[in-house]
Amino acid sequence: MRKMVRIRTKSTGHELALSLRNAYLTMHRQTDACFAEAGVTADQFVLLCALADEKEALTQQELADRITSDRNTLRAMLLLLEEKKLLRRDPHPTDKRARLVRLTPDGEQVQQVLWTQSETFRKHLASLLSPEDTEDLLALLRRFAWALMPQEDAP
Amino acid sequence: MRKMVRIRTKSTGHELALSLRNAYLTMHRQTDACFAEAGVTADQFVLLCALADEKEALTQQELADRITSDRNTLRAMLLLLEEKKLLRRDPHPTDKRARLVRLTPDGEQVQQVLWTQSETFRKHLASLLSPEDTEDLLALLRRFAWALMPQEDAP
DNA sequence: TATTGTTATACTCTATAACTATA
DNA sequence: TATAGTTATAGAGTATAACAATA
């Protein structure tokens, strides 16, 4: 007769998942706080930065991929930011199904102000570990995420 | 006269934040999918595992800290799981303000079944990088999260 | 006074499914 | 047929603030 044993929740995979979750959520909370008084969420800031980084406007689908979101989720975010006049969604010149998303001048300014305002927080993030360890963590995270992504989605 | 330059969104802090976000969200989506047909979210599974890991029951506040949540957020999750009869919230024997959260027999069983079911996914997570790199990533994530946490909250 | 948990409330992100229009 | 985006809908997680009971 087998002895009843409580299944232990220990495994490298589980610990990795929990550590990644803990690190992200802790950071995310602080990032949200960093932008809260401007009425912008951390996720919205990521979106604004993705647009600011691009010379050319992106379609909604491209933008969704860029910020690790999906088109329905993205749309909800875009409507919120559009209402605040931070971005526009123009018809695509050649593909009539698509829309091109762009920052408005207001949106560019808000992104730049928030970027500057969050300088200290970014410096803080980069200073938590030694420069070498930070680079290692960055490289490992990238390789991890890359390997985890369904390969057709990989950039 | 100063030249207008577009502020570039490049910095180690920003890249680290984006990589962490990307890695977490990609993993989280797959984890959710892994438990979806059981009607349990990834976050709920984390909660169930936190309870399964403890010999003694936890108060709501302790549990909230354990899963990187806050008491209001946790309460919403507990009500959902309580309704599914996966856990109970009993009065604390000595502290009349507090409640002790425990898995029900049903909850223990569900946790164990889901744990077994997700074995493959955990193995997959642990196999994305070499064992050495996985250990490095794990260690760096822990140190990163630890350093990021307000030190009074640190475990 | 500080802490545990509750109540009430609100909002963002998330996502599925069915749909239209276009490629 | 496949893709871009919309519509409708729903739910989970998040959090703030004010509150009661207890420590």
Burial degree of A14 (CB within 10 A; 0-12, 13-18, 19+): buried
Confidence (pTM): 0.94
Say what the pLDDT of residue A11 is: 94
Residues in chain A: 155
Asked whether residue B96, judged by its CB, lies under 7 Å from any atom of the DNA or RNA strand D, the reply is yes
- Rounded to the nearest angstrom, the minimum Cα separation between B121 and chain A is 8
Asked whether residue A21, judged by its CB, lies under 7 Å from any atom of the DNA or RNA strand D, the reply is no
Query: Residue ranges of chain A with pLDDT lower than 70?
Result: 1-9, 152-155
pLDDT range class, residue B155, cuts 50, 70, 90 = low
> A143 and B129 in contact by Cβ < 8 A?
yes
The answer to whether B36 and B108 are in contact (CB under 8 A) is: no
Say what the pLDDT of residue B150 is: 74
Angle at A86 between CA A27 and CA A41, to 5 degrees: 20
HSE toward the beta carbon, residue A151, CA cutoff 13 A: 2
Say what the pLDDT of residue A2 is: 39
Residue whose CA is minimally distant from C8 C1' = B72
Mutate which of B14, B65, B149 to disrupt the A interface (most A C-beta within 10 Å)?
A: B14
Question: CB atoms < 10 A from the CB of B40, how many?
Answer: 21
pLDDT range class, residue B1, cuts 50, 70, 90 = very low
Over residues B58-108, the pLDDT tens digits come to 999 999 999 999 999 999 999 999 999 999 999 999 999 999 999 999 999
Interface of B with A in 30-89 (CB under 8 A): 30-31, 46, 49, 52-53, 68
- Which DSSP string corresponds to chain A? -PPP-PPP---HHHHHHHHHHHHHHHHHHHHHHHHHTTT--HHHHHHHHHHHT-SS-EEHHHHHHHTT--HHHHHHHHHHHHHTTSEEEEEPSS-TT-EEEEE-HHHHHHHHHHHHHTHHHHHHHHHSS-HHHHHHHHHHHHHHHHHHS-TTT--
Tokens of A32: 């949200």
Tokens of B120: 């493959």
Q: Which residue(s) pair with B101 in the sheet?
A: B58, B89
- Which DSSP string corresponds to B11-74? -HHHHHHHHHHHHHHHHHHHHHHHHHTTT--HHHHHHHHHHHH-SS-EEHHHHHHHTT--HHHH
Say what the pLDDT of residue B41 is: 98
**Does residue B136 sit at the A interface (CB-CB below 8 Å)?**
yes
Over residues B3-54, the pLDDT tens digits come to 445 555 579 999 999 999 999 999 999 999 999 999 999 999 999 999 999 9
DSSP H or E segment with residue B99: strand B99-103
Q: In terms of pLDDT, which residue wins out, B56 or B7? A: B56
CA A43 to chain centre: 6
